[in-house]
Amino acid sequence: MPRLIDPGDQAAIEPAELVDMLAASRIDVRDEDAFAALGPSLARLGRNRSFLADAAIDALKQRRDDAARARGYGPQVLILHPPDGRFLVRANFWPARGDAVFRASGPRTFFYDLPHDHNFPFLTVGYLGPGYWSDYFEYDAQQVTGVPGSPAGLRYIERSRLEEGRLMLYRMRRDVHVQLPPDAFSVSLNILGQDPEQPWIDQYRFDIAGNRIEAGLATTASEVLLTIAAQMDGNGRDLAERFAFSHASARMRLTAVRALVAAEADGEAAGRWLDRATADPDALVAQNACRDLEMLHDKLRNGGGSAGAA
């Protein structure tokens, strides 16, 4: 489960002071102990019982909620310090089942009942209310292929909640949790660690009952753009082929292969792309290519024409 950290007992600080502390730190966010050492500073912000109401009012006046939406965050997030290449600071709001916003939006809006890990580390402290519940698991990211339906190796740890003042470090690609609504409206504060490689680090949704990977959650803009480019003759197709067989990211290689397949009108040609991809050294690419190739062969045997939906 997430690493518990002693929050200390130092005096409360303002958000700007926390931002200054983060700016002055020279840690590598991938260093677990160094990142954990920032936790007591977040706890100090958590002892400031007035700043969040002021920040919420300011956000409403400045329409900063639009900025949060633009970054892909849902209605439960208030950005306190925008991404600066190393850190992001935010407040998260967690409604209870009986709250109007929960009834209006449903559980998935707040990531409830969604088993997942994270492709970044983050510190969190309970700020207000009893705190959301979580069923906590751990897994070894080095032992999974990432293929949907493949074993996840999840180990159940416990169910607990993020109470006021409780300080934890969620470890990247190790801690898995299923968040459940709090008993009453709650708020947590986070420091997210950022890394240039983060967009290419996999994040998963899990099937808890089957102890399997259900799907990947991480997608980059480059993957979407490549899918479009592959539909064009010339440079776009050439780029997709190069990415399919030489890109450093296995996920991008798989995306490129599937983009090439989708661009083919002829099933035989599509099959050649998939057959070539079955030799990829990464299981994510090779196993998905094998599965897609089998589906394509079934489709062609049953009279299907184009390859795009393989």
Domain hosting 49: range is: 3-216
139-165: average pLDDT = 96
Assess whether 238 and 206 both reside in one domain.
no
Assess whether 236 and 137 both reside in one domain.
no
Work out the pLDDT band at 308, boundaries 50, 70, 90.
low
Q: What pLDDT score does 64 carry?
A: 53
Residue where one domain finishes, among candidates 162, 187, 216: 216
Angle between helices 235-246 and 267-277 (to 10 degrees): 30
120-139: average pLDDT = 98
Percent of the chain at pLDDT > 70 equals 93
Structural domains in the chain (count): 2
Alpha carbon of residue 303 to chain centroid: 39
Tell me if 165 sits within 8 A of 125, measured CB to CB: yes
Residue 46 has pLDDT above 60, yes or no: yes
Give the tokens for residue 191. 């420091």
CATH code of residue 103: 2.60.120.10
* CA gap 189, 77 in Å, rounded: 10
Assess whether 124 and 273 both reside in one domain.
no
- For residue 258, with 0-12 CB atoms within 10 Å meaning exposed, 13-18 middle and 19 or more buried, which class applies? buried
Angle at CA of residue 137, ends 125 and 164, nearest 5°: 20
Q: For residue range 197-216, what is the model confidence (pLDDT) as tens digits?
A: 888 889 999 999 999 999 99
Return the amino acid letter for 64.
R
CA distances from 194 to 30, 51, 86, 159 (A): 9, 24, 5, 28
Residue where one domain finishes, among candidates 181, 216, 251: 216
* CA gap 255, 259 in Å, rounded: 6
Q: Which range, of 68-72, 214-218, 288-292, averages the lowest pLDDT?
A: 68-72
Residue 258 has pLDDT above 90, yes or no: yes
Assess whether 261 and 199 both reside in one domain.
no
Assess whether 268 and 145 both reside in one domain.
no
Q: What pLDDT score does 288 carry?
A: 92
Q: Which range, of 74-78, 79-83, 158-162, averages the lowest pLDDT?
A: 74-78
Whether 310 maps to a domain, the answer reads: no
Q: 237: helix, coil or strand?
A: helix
83-112: average pLDDT = 92
Assess whether 166 and 235 both reside in one domain.
no
Q: How many CB atoms lie within 10 A of CB 237?
A: 16
Nearest to 43 by CA among 152, 126, 144, 130: 126
* CA gap 183, 151 in Å, rounded: 33
* CA gap 186, 107 in Å, rounded: 15
* CA gap 283, 190 in Å, rounded: 34
Q: What pLDDT score does 57 carry?
A: 82
Assess whether 208 and 238 both reside in one domain.
no
Angle at CA of residue 151, ends 214 and 157, nearest 5°: 90
Assess whether 208 and 87 both reside in one domain.
yes
Give the tokens for residue 24. 């002055």
Q: What pLDDT score does 65 carry?
A: 53
Q: What pLDDT score does 241 carry?
A: 93
134-142: average pLDDT = 97
Taking the CA of residue 27 as centre, how many other CA atoms within 13 Å lie in the half-sphere pointing to its CB?
Answer: 17
Q: For residue range 212-230, what is the model confidence (pLDDT) as tens digits?
A: 999 998 777 788 888 888 8
Alpha carbon of residue 241 to chain centroid: 28
Residue 309 has pLDDT above 70, yes or no: no
